[in-house]
Amino acid sequence: MSLWNRFINWLNDADPKPAPGSKPQPPAPTADPSQDIEAQLKVVEDKLDQTVQDLADGLINRAQFENLYRHYQNQRRVIRGFLQQASDPAMLKVGAGESMVIRQRFAAKVLAYAVYDNITSLPLRTVGQFPLESELVVGFFSGFRSAIAEIMGTGARKAVTDDGKVLIYVPGQKSTLIVLYSAEPADIESLSLRQAHEHFEKINAPVLAKTPVLENQLIFNYEMFLKLA
């Protein structure tokens, strides 16, 4: 049995069993392994969206949300590794275990992240240390509102600092997520940030609608999948 098939078996066994018809089921295997991986990734991302909706609808409590959200993020992290391996011909020339080690060794690491209020320009949460001496960081924070207006609707924007680190800005309607990486992250990582920030604004909509925003009432779902190096 292949590593991917063993993972799918684990995924199905470890996945919380939903009520009939309430959650999407894993797709049937196809002839192309990469299609299986992409389909499984879509299923897990749908489950993440559904978990956020369930919390917003009051169907689950905060503890249930945090554990389910972390569970599905862990599944997605593993699936992304399979997807990146399947899409890189060079990785197919080495063993599955060796290729995973290579990817982990050279993957972009999260050094810091912060969430800012779009109206007040004040941080709602900061984790790690940002290079405050960098012109890119100083310029962004000093002109926060104009910068947000410029990138709004673009999904995400990235910039490279003087020492080669990469900043990813993900604007939302009420807040902006900023993540500092040790190197340029894969595109799929940026897409994950966009989905996570959409989730943050959805589950915290009532709190973000108030002024000032009460930080102690916010649920920071980033902590469930952004691990600092």
Question: Domain residue spans in the chain?
Answer: 3-105, 107-224
**Predicted confidence (pLDDT) per residue in 202-218, tens digit:** 999 999 999 899 999 99
Three-class secondary structure assignment of the chain: CCHHHHHHHHHHHHCCCCCCCCCCCCCCCCCCHHHHHHHHHHHHHHHHHHHHHHHHCCCCCHHHHHHHHHHHHHHHHHHHHHHHHHHCHHHHHCCHHHHHHHHHHHCCCEEEEEEEECCCCCEEEEEECCCCCCHHHHHHHHCHHHHHHHHCCCCCEEEECCCCCEEEEEECCCEEEEEEECCCCCHHHHHHHHHHHHHHHHHCHHHHCCCCCCHHHCCCHHHHCCCEC
pTM exceeds 0.75, yes or no: no
152 φ/ψ angles, rounded to the nearest 5 degrees:
-60, 130
* Under 8 Å between Cβ of 155 and 169: no
pLDDT digits 0-9 by tens, 181-204: 999 888 888 888 999 999 999 999
Which CATH number is correct for 107-224, 3.30.530.20, 3.40.50.2000, 3.10.450.50, 3.40.1840.10? 3.40.1840.10
Residue 62 has pLDDT above 80, yes or no: yes
Mean pLDDT for the chain overall: 77
pLDDT at 101 over 60: no
Are the C-beta atoms of 112 and 126 separated by less than 8 Å?
yes
For the stretch 3-48, pLDDT in tens is 545 555 555 555 655 545 555 555 555 555 567 888 888 999 999 9
Q: What is the pLDDT of residue 137?
A: 59
What mean pLDDT is predicted for residues 62-70?
94
Phi, psi of 215 (to 5 degrees): -60, -35
Q: Give the residue with greater pLDDT, 63 vs 36.
A: 63
Q: Count the residues in the chain.
A: 229
Q: Is the dihedral of CA 221, 80, 41, 18 positive or negative?
A: negative
Residue 209: CB atoms within 10 Å: 9
The 10s digit of each residue's pLDDT in 128-178 is 987 655 566 566 666 666 666 666 555 678 888 778 889 898 888 999 899
Does 58 score more than 90 pLDDT? yes
Sheet of 175-181: strands edge to edge?
A: 123-128, 110-117, 175-181, 166-171, 157-160
Q: Which residue has the tokens 């593993």?
A: 78
